[in-house]
Amino acid sequence: MAVSLLAALFVVLLGLGLLLRLSLRRRRSDIPPGSLGLPFVGETLQLIAAYKTENPEPFIDARVRRYGRLFTTHVFGEPTVFITDPDSNRFVLQNEGKLFECSYPSSISNLLGRHSLLLMKGNLHKKMHSLTMSFANSTIIRDHLFVDIDRLVRYNMDTWDGRRILLQDEAKKITFELTMKQLMSVDPGEWTERLRKEYLLLIEGFFSLPVPLFFTTYGRALKARTKVADALRSMVRERRREAIATGREEKYEDEVEKKKKDMLGALLESEEGFSEEETVDFLLALLVAGYETTSTIMTLAVKFLSEAPAALSLLKEEHDGIRGKKKPGESLDWSDYKSMPFTQCVINETLRVANIISGVFRRAVSDVQIKGYTIPKGWKVFASFRAVHLDYDVYKDARSFNPWRWQTSNSTTSSPGNIYTPFGGGPRLCPGYELARVEISVFLHHLVTSFSWEAAEEDKLVFFPTTRTQKRYPINVRRRKTL
């Protein structure tokens, strides 16, 4: 019985697969050329096999050579148009909310929460995006966030001397603690550590098969999500109580005044009058968005520098110069951050060669004409930033790590007309782009001025399920003699 049901299901699915292929063949003249691969799985297995290695480029290179810079494939259950040229990528980013909409599978939205900025659309998205931008702009970072970034980075590195550490894990711990401080003014302690453990389970869920059973990674992630949301909810309630108490008792005023500058303060004060659930989802998504991204770039910058001694030596010179003008143990300040030109070149180059966000998925909301092709309504597109960043026609010697290239280029933002888009662009431009740069710069400063290190083991970069080093980049660390 079960066998015949399965056989019937197989026949139905096969039929649907063939119908899809036939309907595509009819439209073949105007959709971008390509191959849909095998029924159901399409070319997903080829994509995964390529991205599990250090060199995923052949997946896109081979198709670009055969079909051109816009090609159709079938991955993760849907036909998808891959876009690999700068103009068309820009077109997709700028037309967010008009011709395209961001699109996440429900397994991801369940982890993020439906009120997360990443899932918002329309006017509410516009408002909340600009609120987030205003919370993480240069002035706020300079006047309020910088001092804690410097303090927390040093605090975390205090225990590194003489140890073998997994740099990727340490960088994640740092970015988690920084984000907790920035979002709701909480310093590291038992509460944040318990929350971080749950949070790690939640993050695993983004990179797992979405099977919601209690023993699967995804099932555990859903459970962890509830716990993280509960913890954030209790914090939101406490802050609401504090705000009411301040109205009555002046003695709290200073403390509360400080907290108003954090993201939770901005949300509680907003005229929108957000519900508890909206506030929690919003905070949780910010915690997710800045975590894996920033910590990965910290780790990879160190890995690439370790493999490029001339670049590391120039970086050290820049930071020793800054340190040399300070008293022992003195904090960095904003003007120090502004005098790190080579550090910015290193960050740009790391983002160019190994950004964790290699591109963005969008869905066409109507038939979209692009470069003489039609992308049918409802289809997915993948605007590949990585393909542009590693294109030999766009960057000389595009697939080597060469931070010096940025000394002669000032195109470091995602402004219109730009081909360098590690932080996306258009209405969904990353609101944390400056914050991430500052955090990575401060991290590199304290690392190179306080420590020397060497790789403890050979480690490899892979790109699936996400950009990371296979062994979490183990290094042996020793404190440098005081400058």
Interface segment toward ligand HEM; rule CB under 6 A; list 194-202, 215-223, 226-234, 290-298: 290-298
Q: Which of residues 443-482 bind ligand HEM (CB under 6 A)?
A: none
Of the residues 36, 92, 136, 222, which one makes contact with ligand HEM according to CB under 6 A? 136
CA atoms within 13 A on the CB side of 190: 0
Considering only CA atoms, give the Rg of the chain: 24
| Least distance in angstroms from the C-beta of 427 to ligand HEM | 7
Q: In what order do the strands lie in the sheet with 474-479?
A: 164-166, 474-479, 451-455
Cα distances (Å, whole numbers) of residue 99 to 21, 70, 364: 25, 17, 6
Contact 450, 159 (CB under 8 A): no
What is the chain's percent helix, strand, coil content, to nearest 5? 55, 10, 30
Interface segment toward ligand HEM; rule CB under 6 A; list 145-153, 161-169, 352-360, 466-474: 352-360
What is the distance between the alpha carbons of residues 159 and 200, in angstroms, rounded to a whole number? 22
Quick note: the x/- pattern for ligand HEM over 224-253, rule CB under 6 A, is ------------------------------
Contact 146, 333 (CB under 8 A): yes
Q: Which of residues 358-387 bind ligand HEM (CB under 6 A)?
A: 360
Binding status of residue 102 toward ligand HEM by CB under 6 A: yes
Binding status of residue 157 toward ligand HEM by CB under 6 A: no
| Least distance in angstroms from the C-beta of 136 to ligand HEM | 5
Q: Report the Cα–Cα distance between both ends of the chain, in Å, rounded.
A: 77
Binding status of residue 129 toward ligand HEM by CB under 6 A: yes
Of the residues 34, 79, 205, 290, which one makes contact with ligand HEM according to CB under 6 A? 290
- The reply to whether omega before 465 is within 30° of 0 (cis) is yes
Nearest to ligand HEM of 36, 368 (CB atom): 368
| Least distance in angstroms from the C-beta of 278 to ligand HEM | 14
426-457 per-residue burial string, b: 16 or more CB within 10 A, e: under 16: bbbbbbbbbbbbbbbbbbbbbbbbbeebebbe
Binding status of residue 133 toward ligand HEM by CB under 6 A: no
Phi, psi of 222, rounded to the nearest 5 degrees: -65, -40
Phi, psi of 70, rounded to the nearest 5 degrees: -115, 120
- Which residue, among 471, 475, 95, 430, has the nearest Cα to 285 in the 3D structure? 430
What is the distance between the alpha carbons of residues 462 and 354, in angstroms, rounded to a whole number? 10
Binding status of residue 86 toward ligand HEM by CB under 6 A: no
Which residues, 6+ apart, have CB-to-CB distance to 315 below 8 Å?
Answer: 305, 342, 343, 346, 444, 448
Binding status of residue 431 toward ligand HEM by CB under 6 A: yes
Interface segment toward ligand HEM; rule CB under 6 A; list 13-21, 304-312, 318-326, 353-361: 353-361
What is the distance between the alpha carbons of residues 391 and 374, in angstroms, rounded to a whole number? 24
Of the residues 34, 42, 86, 432, which one makes contact with ligand HEM according to CB under 6 A? 432
Binding status of residue 436 toward ligand HEM by CB under 6 A: yes
Nearest to ligand HEM of 42, 424 (CB atom): 424
Quick note: the x/- pattern for ligand HEM over 250-289, rule CB under 6 A, is ------------------------------------x--x
Binding status of residue 355 toward ligand HEM by CB under 6 A: yes
Of the residues 73, 84, 293, 299, which one makes contact with ligand HEM according to CB under 6 A? 293
Does 430 appear as a known binding residue? yes
Residue ranges for the known binding site are 430
Residue ranges for the known binding site for heme are 430
- Residues of this chain that bind ligand HEM (CB under 6 A): 102, 117-118, 129, 132, 136, 286, 289-290, 293-294, 297, 355, 357, 360, 422-424, 428, 430-432, 435-436
